[in-house]
Structure 1
Amino acid sequence: MHFLLKLFSFGYQQALCCIFPVAIFATLAFTKYVDVPFFYRYDFILLVCICMQFLMVYLKLETVDELKVISLFHLIGLFLELYKVSKGSWAYPQFAYTKIGNVPIYSGFMYASVASYICQAWRRFDLRFHDWPSSWITFPLAAAIYFNFFTLHYLPDMRWIIILSLFFIFRRSYVTFVSRGVTYKMNIILSFLLIGSFIWLAENISTFLGAWQYPNQKRQWNVVHIGKLSSWFLLVIISIIIVANLKHIKYNKKPLATAGPDTLEPETVTASVP
């Protein structure tokens, strides 16, 4: 019974961290089967995402600083979408007024929802990253991962070399989190992989609900290729590196490279963060 209580508490906190992604899923499911009067589907989804983001801040489920981080991810994701759609990697076939270069603006919120989850989990589970590499390593790493998504259309795909390097860079790193007053420890690479796996599962649900469409899904829906898991694994690393450094810079007022020798604890510096 004690184990079940701990498991329920952990699951409940995880569910709270996923409020924004769940809202997007619910909207996708609703608009797949129901035509909203006076709205094209993508336009309506964008309206719901904006309203949901406003409510998250108004109800203090997210802070204004977290909103800034989430907005950054929206822009990063939208720029990646514009490039990938132009290369035919996937498509948004339905009409909408709120499209830029065949990409609906709401698509950026799907990347923002990943940042929302990370920010929520950081706060609710009191995340601490131990033996975190210097920002002189993590920033170039994040840049290499991001730009590889673009250059792989012209140059050899370097993702597997990057993934192998991660095992060396984060060989001593681990994350601790607190649930029901108990502190748990997890290998950092394993945590990246678990989050990436759940995003891959969410991607399958999203494509089934028509959020976007891969070339092999034009005639009928198919499971997203398992190889896409590597892309989400790398995207999670970019996300956590950006959030970790931004939080650390804000709360410690100094770059990660000059922080304590083995522990990244930006949230503990101030008591004003809910």
Structure 2
Amino acid sequence: MDSALLRFLDLVQRELSADDALIELGGKPPADPRAVWCALPNGSRLVARFAEPPREPAEVSRRLEELSAAFAGLSSGGGGQRPAHGGSTHRLDDELEVLAQRAGALGAVVVDDTSPVIWGTSEPRRDEADVDYALLLAQWADDVEHAGVNLIDLLELDDLALEQTLATTSLGPGERETIAGHLQKIRERGSRSPNAWRRQVAIARAIDRVRGPAASEGSTHGRFVGQDEQVGVYARSFASIYRLVLAYPGPFSELQAEGAVQHALPHIERLVLALPPIDPRPGAKIVRLHRPS
């Protein structure tokens, strides 16, 4: 049995406070009132065993069914493709959208410590949804704002209006050309509304705070809090290598963020551990889900 499946069974046992968790194939379903089970897509059964019959077997059964959805992602992850908006990915993105709303954040994402993959996001998925682009976008936003202008405002301008606006700054011709180049590259990724641009830039800056050059600053015991005029960031580590990151437009209520994350993190962890490999972009390698040993 592979380590990912063993971790999944450990998770089931821990989440349900069961004595044991196992997968059965064939035979009759357990009749013992101390056992709760559900069918899995591959024809086997996921079983949780308790020392005593559960007080609320219907609720335990419901939670076991929810956990079994994670197994469906695990059992298909040995090289299969991950749909862009389906299965475990869709459930994870939905959960992050709900979390962002409860926490009062502009957005929420899940990244890991080293790869370019954004495993989950509260935002609609696009081709540029990776850490490398987020770090570039954060740097470009900083470059523009150092010139005394707002990136979101500039993205709404046509070429002539952009040239006129940049001409009113103290930038030299070369610097204006560089910023115009940044804006062109951002626009090539697709158009957005001003609010959608604002969310994307905030999320990019939040990712930069936890994965960029200054990532170690403000981080203690797997928890990161950063608050400044550009962006507010609340991040929590989980499963050894992953980061759940909330992005705010500026200073925020740390208490509200902490409460929302505490409530959502166990379910988010289950969904992340269920994700199969990421489909490679042309010319890229498959990025397999890293699970701690």
Q: TM-score, normalised by structure 1?
A: 0.25
| Higher strand residue share | 2
Larger radius of gyration: 2
| Higher helix residue share | 1
